Structure 1
């Protein structure tokens, strides 16, 4: 039950985050600040949307939940490394850290479906 609640919250959040990557002024400026191209911003948005779909579909299929959790973890590691690269404050890294932890919980709770 815990995994399903987290999956739905993460899924809805990643739909919003992913869609924002396609043209939100804040995201466009943020990716410029990070030194990333518009193409990478769009790619990141696509990955986030795929993760969202996997997390939500994972309510009915644990393997999809695990894959969605993995994508969240991988994406948030990249986000955290980006914040470190630009010497950002810990406060600005809190959201990616929290999302990393939540994605990790989903991955761990559903991991056995991938290997067994």
Structure 2
């Protein structure tokens, strides 16, 4: 079970870092609305650009804490629950603007995995 938790933490943590630090200016099929990057995505949701920076910073910090929790378990709950809350917000934004359900798939998946990490 310990190795499964490590794998789940790596998947979620590295994926979030990838989205926010590597692919933030790139188009993907998961972006909300017709957005080609994260800034356009937040605009599609009706959110201000400053909020993108706040959410992005929090997600990066929580992703790093989740990775750190592989060695220091005291960070596990705050990181996993924090990511779950943010992913719930992401799924809500996709629903708000009427995106097809498939666009919510990554956020929903990370929401579920984060809850598994937090609860097990």
How many residues matched?
108
C-alpha RMSD of the superposition: 1.6
User: Which segments of structure 1 move beyond 3 Å, counting only runs of 4 or more?
Assistant: none
Report the CA distance between 1:2 and its aligned residue.
1.2
Report the CA distance between 1:86 and its aligned residue.
0.8
TM-score (norm 2): 0.82
Residue 7 (1) aligns with residue 18 (2): no
Aligned residue in 1 for 2:95:
84
Which consecutive unaligned segments of at least 5 residues does structure 2 have?
26-35
Aligned residue in 2 for 1:65:
76
Structure 1 or 2: larger helix share? 1
TM-score (norm 1): 0.85
- Any residues of structure 2 matched to 1:32-71 within 5 Å, and which? 32-71=43-82
